[in-house]
Amino acid sequence: MSDSAALYVDDSYMREFDAVVVRSGPRFVVLDATAFYPEGGGQPSDTGTLASGGRTFKVLKAMKRGPQVFHYLDGDIPEGAEVHGTVDWERRLGHMRLHSAEHLLTGLFEEEGSGPKVFSSFSQLDFQPSAIDEATLSRVRERFDAVIEEDAPVKIYYTSRDELDIGDDARKRSFLEKMPPGVQTLRMVRIGGYALTFCMGTHVRSTAEIGRLRSLRLEAKKKQRKIVYFELDNVK
């Protein structure tokens, strides 16, 4: 079983690529390389098209199974066929902006002593136990806007598992404990001096590309659980 080379890991801005079908089945293919991000880690799947043999097929979803990425289509492409892939760029860029926003907001709330983050997605952050209040929310929004204006760089680099300093971050420690022991190299995402964590998702190059918050609101739940909901301007 050959791996699907993850082109999206090295270049989040890759919109088109060429590949070969290494496995085929009813309405799915596995490629030797792909720029389609597969659903996972809280990030939705990319969509787009695969062109082959004079026909164009819709990529409805991409899912990772072991080392391979399965592309689910609206038709069939035979094994061995050459394909040209095109990623739905508007959807991908929206995911990149939201993903980087989620990282930045997490870092800013953690600086405010938000408490452990227990869940996150492209629309919400859950902290528990947490003392976040409306004043905290206001400060974070103000700082978020300032970081966007600053146009801080979003840097991606790799480090070894042994070199990673997680301090007293229970969330990162739990993540590492769940990671297979054989995984020794971690992909890190740093947003200026405001957020740093390991991540395999797609991100923008700088904070100006994230854009402004359309909304940021707080909801209090039982047992000191606080949920922060967020939206960005110009993201569907």
| The pLDDT of residue 100 is above 90 | yes
| Average pLDDT of span 121-130 | 95
| The pLDDT of residue 41 is above 90 | no
Tokens at 38, concatenated: 């597969």
pLDDT band at 23 (very low <50, low <70, confident <90, very high): very high
| The pLDDT of residue 102 is above 80 | yes
What confidence score (pLDDT) does residue 167 get? Answer: 66
Residue 93 host element (H or E): helix 89-111
Q: Which residues contact 23 (CB under 8 A, 6 or more apart)?
A: 29, 30, 68, 79
| The pLDDT of residue 172 is above 70 | no
Model-level pTM?
0.91
pLDDT band at 166 (very low <50, low <70, confident <90, very high): low
| The pLDDT of residue 150 is above 70 | yes
Taking CA atoms, 89 is separated from 34, 40, 44, 112, in Å, by 15, 18, 14, 35
Tell me if 151 sits within 8 A of 206, measured CB to CB.
yes
Taking CA atoms, 59 is separated from 15, 135, 143, 188, 204, in Å, by 14, 44, 38, 29, 23
What confidence score (pLDDT) does residue 168 get? Answer: 65
| Average pLDDT of span 17-36 | 98
What confidence score (pLDDT) does residue 17 get? Answer: 99
- What are the chain's domains? 5-87 (2.40.30.130), 92-232 (3.30.980.10)
Return mean pLDDT, the chain.
Answer: 93
| Average pLDDT of span 94-121 | 95
Percent of the chain that is helix, strand, coil (3-state, to 5): 25, 40, 35
Nearest alpha carbon to residue 154 among 127, 184, 194: 194
Torsion of CA 161, 166, 169, 170, to 10 degrees: 30
d(CA 176, CA 103): 18
| Average pLDDT of span 53-78 | 97
pLDDT band at 170 (very low <50, low <70, confident <90, very high): low
pLDDT digit string (tens) for 196-226?
Answer: 888 999 999 999 999 999 999 999 999 999 9
